[in-house]
């Protein structure tokens, strides 16, 4: 039943409309009434009627103002204005607002019902359109996550203009405007499920932190296996400091409830421009790289790391000044196992910072460090049966280790090469998994219940992990791949058979033929009937089309 609400200040008129029409018999539910717009608005917001009937002249808030507010919040809601005034200006303003009908009083119940009947078709069509759009939006949520990741990548690169970033953010309904920004990188790792980056506990933690941090006006981005990236926003740098401080405290409070989950975080410096956020990201990455220097769960602040280095400068090289724990080869292996190519430069910078610049002024010590890293890389590759021929030893005669900066460059290239080999091996291993997934889709695409969770269970992966590697391997999100696959099958059936759209819908995995037609038009730019009648094969009768 369609829900109807009445706003009318004249009691007699209101009672007449309410009581002289058998609403239920005509397919309507009379859900409420009010004597003016001010009283009506909160009731309408709560009841969400399909049709609002309102007088144009009422005390406190008239019908036009009520209609403006309704259309702003509920653009799909239909409005019928009743008035004893026939002035054209009222009608023109009502039409401009988006009012469906403008009727002069007095009006009989039959006349009002006739107008409502004409509106009912439009209301039902609008309802169906909203339902299909909501379903489409829900299904395409995975695509939105990928677009959010792309937005953060652009921000972190620092190579895009403020206008470009704002344009992409607006498309995702993300407000990036602020007076000050700071980046926070965070990752949680379950010690019970080390191989699963997204155990149930970790997923729960991320969900809780998402809710908490969004309350602080922060923007959260998923970095898949690298954890989460957060951009804190504030009006002023002073306010930003307070928000960061309070937010990190809340993060630590949550993590204190999960003793079996390790966590690491890096907090960058505050900046005052959108195009400077990449600077905060770089500083946060430096701080975040400190996680490879410790076995303890902790959140690192870049400002604290810098201050520590300034307070304890190492002026002269002395072997006793070098902390042996930082020469532990297992730390390098840990980074080789879990680090990413994008993190290498930050890890090496932090590694060198801990050793001390004065120590690296010694050519013998530089050679020792480079040799130690090389042997750690070689052992790591040998353990994984990877060819280390592409990872070259240093050559003193060519100046690989001539100074600290060249040594840093050599070690960065060395570690990057190893990680790229590791990642390529992983991708090759995952290619078999993706082939299994594609084969499963080929056999079960007609199953309306087919989902990412179904496939994840089939190949024994977490949904998020599968989503990540599927996108990396195919260049498409799972839902985009499945939708494209089903649309191709639908087009094949439209070209080669005379089956009706409703039957094709079922055959390609869409139980709701309305949604199939909606999705086909959304992705192909035309309805199934238009596609068929464009010359591919015999034309399907138009009455088979589901609108």
The CATH superfamily assigned to 155-312 is Reverse transcriptase/Diguanylate cyclase domain (3.30.70.270)
Report the pLDDT value the prediction gives residue 492, as an integer from 0 to 100: 92
β strands within 135-223, DSSP E: 180-190, 219-222
- Domain 445-544 indexed as CATH 3.10.20.600: no
Q: Are 7 and 55 in contact (CB under 8 A)?
A: yes
Within the chain, which residue ranges are assigned CATH 3.40.50.2300?
A: 2-139
Report the pLDDT value the prediction gives residue 545, as an integer from 0 to 100: 46
β partners of residue 454:
none
3-state helix vs strand vs coil in the chain, percent to 5: 65, 10, 25
Place of tokens 């990877």: 386
Report the pLDDT value the prediction gives residue 98, as an integer from 0 to 100: 65
Report the pLDDT value the prediction gives residue 314, as an integer from 0 to 100: 45
Distance of CA 21 to the CA centre of its chain: 48
Q: Are 501 and 526 in contact (CB under 8 A)?
A: no
Report the pLDDT value the prediction gives residue 536, as an integer from 0 to 100: 52
Residues ≥6 apart with Cβ < 8 Å to 488: none
Report the pLDDT value the prediction gives residue 199, as an integer from 0 to 100: 59
Closest Cα partner for 53 from 90, 107, 1? 107
Within the chain, which residue ranges are assigned CATH 3.30.70.270?
A: 155-312
Strand, helix or coil for residue 57? coil
Give the span between the Cα atoms of 477 and 146, in whole angstroms.
Answer: 8
Report the pLDDT value the prediction gives residue 410, as an integer from 0 to 100: 92
Helix 404-444 and helix 329-338: axis angle, to 10°?
40
Report the pLDDT value the prediction gives residue 155, as an integer from 0 to 100: 93
β strands within 337-408, DSSP E: none
Strand, helix or coil for residue 442? helix
- Domain 2-139 indexed as CATH 3.40.50.2300: yes
Report the pLDDT value the prediction gives residue 409, as an integer from 0 to 100: 92
Distance of CA 463 to the CA centre of its chain: 15
Within the chain, which residue ranges are assigned CATH 1.10.10.60?
A: 445-544
Q: Are 477 and 146 in contact (CB under 8 A)?
A: yes
Report the pLDDT value the prediction gives residue 274, as an integer from 0 to 100: 93
Strand, helix or coil for residue 50? coil
Report the pLDDT value the prediction gives residue 414, as an integer from 0 to 100: 93
Task: Kindly state the tokens that stand for 262.
Answer: 């390790």
Give the span between the Cα atoms of 483 and 503, in whole angstroms.
Answer: 17
- Per-10-residue mean pLDDT of the chain, 547 residues long, equals 88 84 87 89 90 85 86 85 65 63 72 80 78 75 76 90 90 90 91 54 86 88 84 94 94 90 92 94 90 83 72 49 62 85 87 75 85 90 86 85 90 92 81 91 92 88 79 84 93 91 92 88 89 63 42
Report the pLDDT value the prediction gives residue 251, as an integer from 0 to 100: 94
Q: Are 392 and 382 in contact (CB under 8 A)?
A: no
289: phi then psi, degrees, rounded to nearest 5: -65, -15
């Amino acid at each position: 039943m369609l829900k109807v609400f009445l706003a009318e200040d004249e009691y007699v008129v209101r009672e007449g409309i309410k009581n002289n029409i058998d609403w239920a018999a005509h397919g309507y539910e009379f859900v409420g009434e009010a004597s003016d717009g001010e009283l009506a608005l909160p009731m309408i917001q709560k009841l969400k009627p399909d049709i609002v009937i309102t007088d144009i002249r009422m005390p406190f808030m008239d019908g036009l103002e009520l209609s403006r507010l309704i259309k702003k919040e509920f653009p799909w809601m239909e409005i019928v204005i009743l008035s004893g005034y026939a002035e054209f200006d009222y009608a023109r303003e009502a039409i401009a607002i988006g009012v469906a009908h403008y009727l002069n009083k007095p009006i009989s119940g039959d006349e009002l019902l006739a107008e409502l009947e004409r509106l009912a078709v439009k209301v039902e069509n609008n309802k169906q359109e909203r339902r299909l759009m909501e379903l489409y939006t829900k299904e395409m949520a995975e695509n939105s996550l990928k677009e959010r990741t792309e937005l953060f990548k652009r921000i972190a690169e620092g190579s895009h203009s403020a206008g470009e970033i704002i344009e992409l953010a607006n498309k995702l309904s993300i407000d990036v405007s602020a007076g000050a920004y700071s980046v926070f990188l965070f990752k949680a790792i379950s010690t019970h499920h080390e191989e699963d980056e997204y155990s149930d506990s970790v997923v729960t933690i991320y969900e809780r932190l998402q809710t908490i941090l969004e309350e602080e006006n922060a923007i959260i981005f998923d970095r898949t296996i690298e954890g989460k990236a957060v951009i804190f926003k504030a009006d002023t740098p002073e306010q930003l400091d307070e928000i960061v401080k309070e937010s990190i405290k809340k993060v630590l409070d949550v993590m204190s409830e999960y003793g079996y989950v390790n966590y690491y975080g890096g907090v960058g410096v505050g900046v005052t421009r959108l195009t400077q956020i990449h600077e905060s990201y770089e500083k946060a990455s430096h701080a975040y790289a400190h996680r490879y220097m410790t076995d303890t769960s902790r959140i690192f602040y870049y400002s604290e790391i810098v201050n520590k280095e300034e307070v304890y400068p190492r002026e002269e090289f002395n072997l006793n000044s070098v902390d042996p724990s930082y020469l532990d080869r297992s730390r390098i292996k840990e980074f080789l196992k879990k680090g990413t190519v994008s993190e290498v430069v930050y890890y090496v910078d932090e590694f060198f910072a801990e050793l001390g610049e004065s120590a690296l002024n010694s050519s013998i010590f530089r050679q020792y460090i480079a040799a130690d890293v090389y042997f750690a890389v070689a052992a790591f590759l040998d353990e994984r049966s990877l060819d280390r021929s592409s990872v070259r030893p240093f050559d003193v005669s060519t100046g690989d280790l001539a100074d600290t900066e060249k040594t840093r460059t050599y070690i960065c290239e060395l570690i990057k090469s190893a990680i790229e080999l590791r990642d390529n091996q992983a991708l090759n291993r995952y290619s078999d998994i993706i082939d299994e997934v594609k084969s499963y889709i080929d056999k079960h695409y007609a199953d309306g219940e087919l989902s990412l969770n179904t496939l994840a269970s089939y190949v024994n992966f977490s949904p998020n992990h599968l989503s990540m590697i599927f996108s990396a391997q195919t260049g498409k999100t799972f839902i985009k791949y499945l939708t494209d696959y089903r649309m191709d099958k639908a087009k094949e059936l439209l070209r080669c058979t005379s089956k009706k759209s409703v039957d094709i819908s079922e055959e390609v995995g869409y139980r709701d033929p309305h949604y199939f037609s909606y999705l086909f038009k959304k992705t192909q730019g035309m309805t199934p009937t238009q596609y068929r009648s464009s010359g591919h094969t015999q034309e399907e009768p138009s009455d088979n089309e589901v609108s």
